[in-house]
Structure 1
Amino acid sequence: MSEPSAVTAIALAFANARAEARALSGFPGTVPESFEAAYAVQKAAMGVHPANLRGWKVAMVRPDWRAAFPEERLIGPVYHVIDVPDGGTATMPSITGGYTAAEAEFVAVMAQDLPPREKPYEVAEVAAAISAIHVGAEIAGSPLVNLNDLGPGSIISDFGCNAGVVLGPEVVGWQSRPWESLTAKSTVNGAAVGEGTAAGVPGTPLAAVAFLANRLSRLGITLRAGDLVSTGMVTGIHKVAAGDRAVIDFGDCGQFTIDFATAKPVD
């Protein structure tokens, strides 16, 4: 994994498969065995992505992988964002033969840049740099159906296993609301699949944003004003495919529907 050619080959394989809406039969090379190696692939993949970066996703590293990958979270870039009003519907792609999942999440919007620096960002400092919190959903997605089973090195390499973010209504007065009062319930094709609250995100969603700011700082990347941060699932990871419909109800903060359609190649 130390050779630039190997890094580039993996990055191009994932980037091209996504652009062509084409499933992969296996990981395209050797799965990175460290954060350093995996984020090198992610950086290379971002370098060939044609769209403008809209923000980032943050997800937990499974406990059984933390001996090899000793951080509690991982990150990935977000390029595809759909804004939906209360009661609205978003359509999101699913690569046939790949992996797709819907995850109810709370999404932060940054008000100011947090550039790389030596001193770690504290949660209170990061909270002051957020302009809004919205209800939303991360659409996890990859051309590789077993991407998650191969661990953080695999997930990070393929854009953090992100296919997009649904940005729902803003949470009014979020600074003064208890996190446990921000609830979510998810259904897929009419069947209840999970429920939870923002308090279920370890350390609260603000801890996820702080982790992101510090991980980006170590990578030499600025968390920019206007960036969206999808902070981690609150009702579970719900696998879906083209033709499925997910509805996420955030109680007094609104609800929205996500319809999944067969992903098409990028023109």
Structure 2
Amino acid sequence: MTMTAEAVREAAAALLAARRDNRPLEALPPAAIPADKTGAYAIQTEVARRIGPVTAWKVGASGPDAEPSSAPIHAETLFFEVETLPAAMFRVIGIEAEIAYRLKSDLPARDEPWTRKEVLDAIGSIHPAFEICDTRFAEYGSQGPLASLADQANHGALIVGNAAADWRRIDPVTQPLTLDIDGERKVEVVGGNKAGDPIRLLAWLANVGARPFGGLHAGDTVTTGSCTGTLFIQSGNRAVADFPGLGRIALTVA
């Protein structure tokens, strides 16, 4: 069932009010709950357009052959090479170690799909990254996947580490990494991203996910899904992710 424009606006207004007033929602208004991905993306897009220009993206998938999903990210929650963030930014702090790409060329929306080679040629650098997962709802994960997708796919913040410009030598599928919290090893894995090849995700994003915003643009940062799962941490905890050969990233939220 297609959501009406009025229902999309109502859902977007509720999510934006929760952000503005720091008053989490118990649920979306009954008439504005998305029944399918089309509705969820319509809400997500309306919220994003009201917040302002899109400067980054998150994209992921539940498996190597699964349809990806995405969400736009704005400058207010995008950080480069910082090691501390205020805990007051978040309701919950779910940290994920990820691999992010920055584009050096545009991949605008067009009728002919962007090829893998074209997507590769548009990449400027690769980075270790953290995504903080958060929610505009009263309880994280309480509203199901469609409401979470509408709510910026649980995005809280994206923290991007130093660039590895020679990114073609990095194979994310076989990349080892570790994640420590307060010096305690929590994750040690090779690859770790259940989506598999991140270039497939980037191509899908350019061809499908980012189309409502005109495609992808030079300077955009795209994070390609969790390599560690989500670890919920407390204010004051220090997280350190090490991707040997790619880089290291550290963050304290306090």
Which TM-score band applies after superposition, normalised by the shorter structure?
A: 0.7 to 0.9
- Distance change in 2, residues 1:128/1:33 (3 Å): same
| Displacement after TM superposition at 1:28 (Å) | 4.0
- Distance change in 2, residues 1:148/1:59 (3 Å): farther
- Distance change in 2, residues 1:248/1:139 (3 Å): same
Aligned to 1:78: 73
- Distance change in 2, residues 1:43/1:35 (3 Å): same
Amino acid at match of 1:212: L
Amino acid at match of 1:245: R
Does the CA contact (< 8 Å) of 2:97 and 2:227 recur in 1? Answer: yes
| Displacement after TM superposition at 1:40 (Å) | 0.8
* Contiguous gaps of at least 5 residues in structure 2: none
Does the CA contact (< 8 Å) of 1:108 and 1:134 recur in 2? Answer: yes
**Residue 242 of structure 2 corresponds to residue 249 of structure 1:** yes
* Contiguous gaps of at least 5 residues in structure 1: 64-69, 262-267
Q: TM-score, normalised by structure 1?
A: 0.82
Paired-residue identity, %: 27
Q: CA deviation digits over 1:194-236, x for unaligned, max 9?
A: 2334474534221221121122355363211110000111111
Between stretches 185-194 and 206-215, larger displacement belongs to 185-194
Does the CA contact (< 8 Å) of 1:107 and 1:133 recur in 2? Answer: yes
- Distance change in 2, residues 1:190/1:107 (3 Å): same
| Displacement after TM superposition at 1:192 (Å) | 2.4
Does the CA contact (< 8 Å) of 1:208 and 1:232 recur in 2? Answer: no
Amino acid at match of 1:31: I
Aligned to 2:218: 225
SS of equivalent residue, structure 2 residue 149: helix
Q: In structure 2, how many angstroms separate the alpha carbons of the residues matched to 1:133 and 1:145? A: 35
- Distance change in 2, residues 1:259/1:159 (3 Å): same
Q: Which residues of 2 match residues 100-115 of structure 1 at below 5 A? A: 100-115=93-108
Aligned to 1:90: 84
Aligned to 1:132: 125
Amino acid at match of 2:69: L
Aligned to 1:43: 45
Q: TM-score, normalised by structure 2?
A: 0.85
| Displacement after TM superposition at 1:44 (Å) | 1.1
- Distance change in 2, residues 1:95/1:164 (3 Å): closer
